[in-house]
Structure formats: structure tokens, C-alpha cells
Amino acid sequence: MSATLIDGKTVAAGLRAEVAARVTAFHAKTGRRPGLTVVLVGSDPASEVYVRNKGIQTREAGMRSDEIKLPETTTQAELLAVVQTLNADAAVDGILVQMPLPGQIDTQAIIAAIDPAKDVDGLHPVNAGRLAQGIDALVPCTPLGCMILLDKAGVAVAGANALVIGRSILVGRPVASLLLAANATVTVAHSKSRDLPALCGQADIVIAAVGRPEMVRGEWLKPGAAVIDVGINRVPKEDGKTRLVGDVHFASAVETAGVITPVPGGVGPMTIACLLQNTLTAACFRDGIDPKSL
């Protein structure tokens, strides 16, 4: 068997186009454009590239995009003051503080300080709690992207046995909640789980988000399973350079899975696209508009 590849680039491009059309409708209805502000502390090269791409795609979708760059030496109090200013700014619908933050700053304290209504990363405890209870909430972007990819691939989630490998607040826990809300039977595995290959062998859907290069082997998988690989790991090549691989051993998994996301080009492109959707959703909620009506 050779799995069908789920093209995240194509799906993300379609979602961005859809968001852009809905932003036009939002602007026609309200006279304003949704606004996203990204805060970057320090000069991590990967974060700078990511923030730049967010800005480009936000503007292409017809939204306002602002960036606040702060020095590596920024204190927690200074960053909290910036967040509070953005919370009070009526022109800002979405606030995203780029992670990771320097060691002197408590990441959880910053997340908790963001207005839940503007928390387009979906990490605030209020949004996490609403998601866990099945109430409308701003959902973390990568888990939301995983669910969209499953839907676009025609995967029947309701009634399926779904295995989530990883329990982080960024991916594992929220994607498990989304799968439960979609009526899957969900197992969450982690570093203490016994006999992970056996768990994989029972799963109709496997979402790998553990951060270990090529850990999930093809021979572990149930034939025909849907595999969503969230991992992005840089590993050395023989020539001294590096390459990107996922948490799934793609070469063996593609022979057993029914559908599978590649790395790169699978889940990654969905994250910014879902961020744009979350920003529009936040703007709609703030203006009392049903996002589905646009």
C-alpha cells in the first residue's frame, strides 16, 4: 500500500483565500479590518523569519498587521505592560507573543495576561478550559490545522480510534479535545505510556506531536491509518548539512498508512493560515458577529 499525501500547502492556500474573502465581507459590514499584533522579544533567527511570514500573510488576507520588537533584555514587567496596552487597544483583535521567550520571563504569566478574547494562540487558561468543556473558544492554531487536514482528506473522525502522541498544551491536549468533540475515541500517549507500538496498531488516526525524530515506525501502524505528523525536527545529513524530518518515519509509514502528511509541507503551512482564521474569529466575537455568517 502507498499512502495518499495530504498537501498542507494547498489546503493552507485555500484557507487563506477563504479568510481573505471573509475579511472583505467583515470590512463591508463593520467598516474596519481585523488587526493582529505580534510581539517578538529578542532576535532568534527562526522566530524572526516566522514573524515576518506572519506579517506578510496577514496583510495579504486584508488585515492590519503590526509587529512590536523588544530587546532580549526585556523584563517580565516590561512585557506585561506591553500586553496590557494591547489588551486595551480597540484596534487590536489578536495578540500573539512569539515563543520561546528569554529565560528571565515566565511564559505562563504572559499567556495568562493576554485578554482571552484576543488570545489568537488559544493558550489562555480560559480558552483551554472552554475547549475542554466543548464551548466555543479560540483554539490553538496547529491542532486546528490538524483537524482541517483530516477533514480535507476525507477522514471519518466520528467513531474512529484516535491516538495522540504527546500531551503538550500547544498540540497534544487541545487536539485530543478537538477529536473528542468530533466524536472520536481518543487515547493520549506520552513518555510513560507502555507498548506504544501496540497503541499505534489499534489507531485509525495517529497524530504524532512528541518532538522525537522519526520515532513512529511504519510497522507500528494499522494498515490504512490516517497519520498527521506535527513534528519538525532538524537532523544532520552525511554532508554536514541538516534536513527536516517529522516524528514519523515517513519512508516506512507511507507504505502502511492510508493518508499521511509529509514534513515539510504538511501541518506546518496550516499554522499561520489558522492564525489568520483565529484573528478573524476574534474580531467577529468582539463585534457580535457570527463568524459563520461571513
**pLDDT tens figures, 254-292:** 999 999 999 999 999 999 999 999 999 999 999 999 999
Does some domain include residue 3? no
b/e per residue 90-123 (b: at least 16 CB within 10 A): eebbbbbbbeebbeebeeeebbbbbbbbbbbbbb
Does some domain include residue 163? yes
Residue-range definition of the domain harbouring residue 159: 141-269
What total of structural domains would you count in the chain? 2
130 marked as binding residue: no
Whether 207 contacts 162, CB under 8 Å: yes
Does some domain include residue 24? no
Active site residue 108: no
pLDDT of residue 46: 85
CA angle 52, 55, 58 (to 5 degrees): 150
Rg (CA), the chain: 19
Same domain flag for 75 and 171: no
Same domain flag for 259 and 182: yes
Separation of alpha carbons 196 and 164, rounded Å: 11
Sign of the C-alpha dihedral computed for residues 262, 268, 270 and 273 taken in this order: negative
Share of the chain above pLDDT 90, in %: 94
22 marked as binding residue: no
246 marked as binding residue: no
258 marked as binding residue: no
Lowest mean pLDDT among 14-18, 34-38, 185-189, 232-236: 232-236
Same domain flag for 154 and 244: yes
Summarize the confidence of residues 137-141 as an average pLDDT. 96
Confidence of residue 21 (pLDDT cuts 50, 70, 90): very high
Say whether pTM exceeds 0.85.
yes
CATH number at residue 101: 3.40.50.10860
Say which of 54, 57, 119, 247 is annotated catalytic: 54
- CB neighbours of residue 222 within 10 Å: 19
Same domain flag for 113 and 176: no
Does some domain include residue 280? no
Convert the pLDDT of each residue in 179-222 to its tens digit: 999 999 999 999 899 999 999 999 999 999 999 999 999 999 99
Whether 204 contacts 161, CB under 8 Å: yes
Say which of 119, 121, 229, 247 is annotated catalytic: 121
Active site residue 98: yes
Alpha-carbon dihedral of residues 154, 274, 135, 191, nearest 10 degrees? 80
Active site residue 121: yes
Does some domain include residue 288? no
Whether 207 contacts 165, CB under 8 Å: yes
For the chain, the average pLDDT equals 96
Query: Residue 55 has which C-alpha cell?
Result: 506579517
Order across the sheet with 64-70: list the strands.
64-70, 35-41, 94-97
Same domain flag for 152 and 210: yes
Does some domain include residue 58? yes
Flag whether pLDDT at 169 surpasses 80: yes
pLDDT of residue 44: 87
Lowest mean pLDDT among 41-45, 84-88, 116-120: 41-45
Write the single-letter amino acid at 1: M
Confidence of residue 1 (pLDDT cuts 50, 70, 90): low
CATH number at residue 202: 3.40.50.720
Confidence of residue 32 (pLDDT cuts 50, 70, 90): very high
Same domain flag for 165 and 231: yes
Share of the chain above pLDDT 70, in %: 100
Does some domain include residue 15? no
Say which of 93, 98, 204, 247 is annotated catalytic: 98
